[in-house]
Amino acid sequence: MHNSEHYSEDVKIPMGPQHPSLKEPESFLISLRGEKITASSVRLGYNHRGIEKACEDRTYTQGLYLIERICGICSHSHSTCFSQAVEEIAGVEIPARAKYLRTLIGELERIHSHLLWLGVAGHEIGFDTLLMYTWRDREVVMDLLAALTGNRVNYGINTIGGVRRDISSKQKEEVLKGVAILETQTKYYIDLAKNETTLLKRLQGVGVLSHEDAVRLDAVGPTARACGVKRDVRKDDPYAAYAELDFKVISVNSCDVYGRTLVRLGELMESYSLIRQIISKIPEGAIAVKLPRKIPAGQAVSRYEAPRGEDLHYVRANGTEKPDRVKVRAPTLANIQSVSKMLEDRYLADMPIVIAAIDPCFSCTDRLIAIRDSRNKEKNTVTWETIRLKGIEWYKGQGIDFKSLNKKLTESF
Amino acid sequence: MNEENIKQELENKFSYLKDAVIIKRKGRIFVAVELDKFDEVFAYAVKQMRFLALSAITGLDRGDAFEVIYHLNQEGRILLNLSVSLNRENPQINSVCPICPSADLYERELEDLLGIKVNGLAAGHRYPLTDDWPQGEYPLRKDWKAKISNQGVQNA
C-alpha cells in the first residue's frame, strides 16, 4: 500500500538532467506525496546540437552524414528519411534493389533497437539477467550490420539516390543464419514475457496511457500501438520496399508497459519474416542512381517508421547544392508528452521503467553545444585538445600512463 | 476520403482556397493559407475533416518572411501540410494547443529558434535552447550565424 495519506504536503524532487536511470540528459520535476507522483513536468533540450541549422551550411551529401549522427540507435531511420525527401524533390526514383537494401538494414536496425530496449527494460526493473541475455543476442544483429555496411552503429549505407554497398549471396546466407538464431531466442523471450512472474508483476498495469490520451497526445510507434492505436508508417504510407512485403501491424489493448513489451516482441518476429522475404525477393540491378549536386527548388515531407515510431523530415530546396531548411521530428518528441500522463498518480519507483518504456532517445529529440561556466557566467571555450589533455591527466592520476601503453601496443604489432 | 475529395471539400468550404490546395503526390497535400484565415481553416481540418493527428510544426525563414507549416495527418495516412506566412517585423501566430495539445513543444521551438511569438501558449519551460541563451538571438533565422572558430564553439 502506498503511504500518501500520511503526508499533507507535496515534496518536489528534481530528477536530472543527469538522470539516474537514463544515459541521456533530460530533467523531470516530480511532485510527490509520500511515494505517489502528483504532478510532473519535463525539461528537454540538453542534447540540442543545432543540426538543423548546420545542414543549411552543408551540401546534401554532407548533411546526410550529419543527419545519420542525430541518433546512435536509429541512425538508418534518419538517413533514409532524409534521403527520401531529397530524392522526392529531385524527382528521382531509386532502383528497386536499393529500396530492398534500405528496408533490410532498416529491419535489422529495428531488431537491434528492440533487443536493446528489452535489455534496458529488464535493467530498470532489476532483472539484469534479461539485460545480459538480450544484449548478448543483440551482438548477432550488430555483427550482421557490421558485415553488411561496414559499421556497427552509424552504418553509412545510404547515399542520396540509393545505397553504397551491395549484398553478396554469402552475406544473404549469413543474414538468414543470424535471423534463425534470433528467432529462437525471441520465442524464448515471448514465452518469458507471458509466464515469468517478475515481468508480469512489474510491468502489468504500470505506466497506463489510455487509448484516448494516446490519440489526443499523438503518441507514435510501439507506445501508441500498445494502446490499440494501429498506426505504422510502413503500412499507412509505405516507403522503400514495404508495399511489396507482407507483414502485420502488431497492436495490443493493454495500454501499459507490459503491452509495450509485447508489441516490441511481436514486431521482432515480424522483422524476421520481413528479412526472409527481402532475401528471397530482392531484385537484381543497380543499387544507386546519380543525382545532380544541385537539387531543384521544392519541398517534401518524408516519413519513416523508426523503431520508436514515426520519424518525420521536412526538406525545402532552393535550387542550390545546399538545403534551405531541414526539419527533423523524431518519435521521442511525439511520445514525451504522454509520459506525464503515464506518471500521474503512480509510484516514484515506477518512474524509470515508465520513462524507459517509450524507449526515449533524447539525442534524436533535441538535435547545441553550449559551454558556459554557470558559476562566473563567463564564456568559456573548451577545445578538443584541452579535453584530450585533461583526459590523459585524469588517467595518469588513476595510475594509467598512455605513453607506456602506446609503446606496448606498437611493439606488439 | 482520398486526396481529391479533401481538395474538393476544402475548396467548397473556403472559396479563398481555390487554387491554393496542391496535391503533390499520393498522401501529400500542401495548402497555403493567409494568416487571417488560418485559425478557421486549421480548426475545420482538425475537427470536421478528422485530421486529428499533428505530426509536427516546421518553422522556416524565407528571407522576406517567416513560414510556419503544420503537418497534420488523418489516421496516419494522408498528410495535410497547412502553411502560413508571417511578416518578419512582428511575427505572431495563435497557439493551436487548444485544438491539438501535442503542439506545445513544436510551438516552443518556433519561439526559441525563430523568435515567432505564439499567442496563447501556456507558461512553461523553454525548448530547446538553454535557460541562459542570450535574448534576441534566434538561430534558425537566416541572418543568424554561429560564431565558430577553430578555437571551439563560442557564444553558442
Residues of chain A contacting B154 with CB distance shorter than 8 Å: 379, 381
* Contact call for A327 and B79, based on CB within 8 A: no
- pLDDT given at position A214: 95
CA distance A203 to chain B (A): 26
Of the residues A368, A374, A375, A389, the best mutation for testing chain B's interface (the one with the most B CB atoms within 10 Å of its CB) is A368
- Mean pLDDT in residue range A188-199: 95
Q: CB pairs under 8 A, 24+ apart, for B61-67?
A: B61/A325, B61/B114, B61/B140, B61/B141, B61/B142, B63/B142, B64/B88, B66/B91, B66/B114, B66/B116
How many beta-carbon pairs below 8 A join chains A and B? 114
**3-state SS class at A156:** coil
B124 vs A contacts (CB less than 8 Å): 41
Chain B CB contacts of A41 under 8 Å are 124-125
Quick one: closest CA in A to B78, which residue? A237
Average pLDDT over residues A336-365: 84
Using 50, 70 and 90 to split pLDDT, how confident is the model at A379? low
pLDDT at B147: 72
ipTM of this predicted structure: 0.94
Nearest residue in chain B measured CA to CA from A221: B76
CA distance B24 to chain A (A): 9
Interface mutation target, options A216, A313, A329, chain B, most CBs of B under 10 Å: A329
Ordered by start, the domain boundaries in chain A are 51-334
The chain B residue lying nearest A238, using CA atoms, is: B77
Minimal-distance CA residue of chain A relative to B139? A53
Are A218 and B126 an interchain contact pair (Cβ–Cβ within 8 Å)? no
Instruction: Tell me, yes or no, if A201 comes closer than 8 A to chain B by beta carbon.
Output: no
Residues of chain B positioned with their CB less than 8 A from the CB of A91 = none
Q: Do B28 and A383 touch (CB under 8 A)?
A: no
Residue A382 is predicted with a pLDDT of 65
Cβ within 8 Å, pair B105-A336: yes
CB contact under 8 A, A233 and B139: no
Which DSSP helix (H) or strand (E) runs through A331? helix A331-343
> Chain B contact for A218, CB < 8 A?
yes
| Burial (CB count within 10 angstroms: exposed 0-12, middle 13-18, buried 19+), residue B18 | exposed
Q: What integer pLDDT is reported at residue A364 of this predicted model?
A: 67
Q: In sequence order, which ranges of chain B are alpha helices (DSSP H)?
A: 3-13, 35-43, 104-109
* Separation of alpha carbons A73 and A179, rounded Å: 19
Nearest in space to B107 (alpha carbons), one of B79, B80, B152, B70: B70
- Given a cut of 70, whether residue A374 has pLDDT beyond it is no
State mean pLDDT over A245-262. 96
Which of B64, B99, B114, B153 is most worth mutating to test chain A (most A CB atoms within 10 A of its CB)? B153
End-to-end CA distance of chain A: 63
Higher pLDDT, A305 or A376: A305
| Domain ranges (residues) in chain B | 3-153
- Kindly list the strands in the beta sheet with B78-87, ordered across the sheet, starting from the edge strand earlier in the chain: B21-25, B28-33, B78-87, B65-74, B53-61
Alpha carbon dihedral A269, A270, A271, A275, in 10-degree steps, equals: 110
A366 touches chain B (CB under 8 A): yes
Cell of B20: 491554393
The domain at A51-334 falls in which architecture?
Answer: Orthogonal Bundle (1.10)
**Which of A26, A48, A371 is the mutation pick for testing B, counting most B CBs within 10 A?**
A48
Look at the alpha carbons of A43, A47, A49, A51 in this order and tell me if their dihedral is positive or negative. Answer: negative
A2-26, pLDDT tens digit by residue?
Answer: 577 788 888 898 887 887 677 788 8
Amino acid B156: pLDDT: 45
CB contact under 8 A, B130 and A368: yes
Q: What is the pLDDT of residue A409?
A: 63
Mean pLDDT of chain A: 90
The answer for residues whose C-beta is within 8 angstroms of residue A125's C-beta and 6 or more apart is A198, A199, A202, A203, A353
pLDDT of residue A365: 65
Identify the segments of chain B with pLDDT beneath 50.
Answer: 156
Confirm or reject contact between A256 and chain B (CB < 8 A): no
Give pLDDT, residue B151: 57
Question: What are the angstrom distances between the C-alpha of A57 and each of A127, A269, B77, B128, B140?
Answer: 46, 42, 33, 20, 12
At residue A368, does pLDDT exceed 50?
A: no
According to the model, what pLDDT value does residue A377 have?
A: 54
Residues A394/A382, Cβ–Cβ less than 8 Å: no
pLDDT tens digits, one per residue of A20-70: 677 788 888 889 998 899 988 888 888 888 999 999 999 999 999 999 999
DSSP string, B32-52: EE-HHHHHHHHHIIIIIS---
Other Cβ atoms closer than 10 A to B95 = 16
pLDDT given at position A392 = 82
- Grid coordinates given for A167: 549484398
What class is the B3-153 domain?
alpha beta
- Read off the pLDDT of each residue in A280-304 and give the average, rounded to a whole number: 96
Q: Cβ of A328: how many Cβ atoms within 10 Å?
A: 24
Q: Give the confidence band of A125 by pLDDT, cuts at 50, 70, 90.
A: very high
With the CA atoms of B88, B91, B97 and B102 taken in that order, what torsion angle do they form, in degrees rounded to the nearest 10? 30
Query: Residue A246's pLDDT is what?
Result: 97
- CA distance, residue B11 to nearest chain A CA (Å): 22
Distance from the Cα of A301 to chain B's closest Cα (Å) equals 8
The rounded distance, in Å, linking the Cα atoms of B65 and B92 is: 12
All residues at 6 or more sequence positions from B93 whose CB lies less than 8 Å from its CB, including other chains:
B35, B38, B68, B84, B86, B110, B116, B117, B118, B119
Identify which of B139, B146, B151 has the shortest CB distance to residue A383.
Answer: B151
The answer to whether residue A315 scores a pLDDT higher than 90 is yes
Over residues A88-93, mean pLDDT:
96
pLDDT in tens, A91-109: 999 999 999 999 999 999 9
Closest CA to A304 of A380, A397, A410, A233: A233
- Which chain B residues are Cβ-neighbours of A372 within 8 angstroms? 130, 132
How does residue A243 score in pLDDT terms, banded at 50, 70 and 90? very high
* Amino acid A372: pLDDT: 47
B76, A232: Cβ pair inside 8 Å?
yes
Alpha carbon A31 to its chain's center: 29
Kindly report the number of other CB atoms within 10 A of residue A158's CB atom. Answer: 28
**Residue A314 to residue B56, Cβ atoms within 8 A:** yes
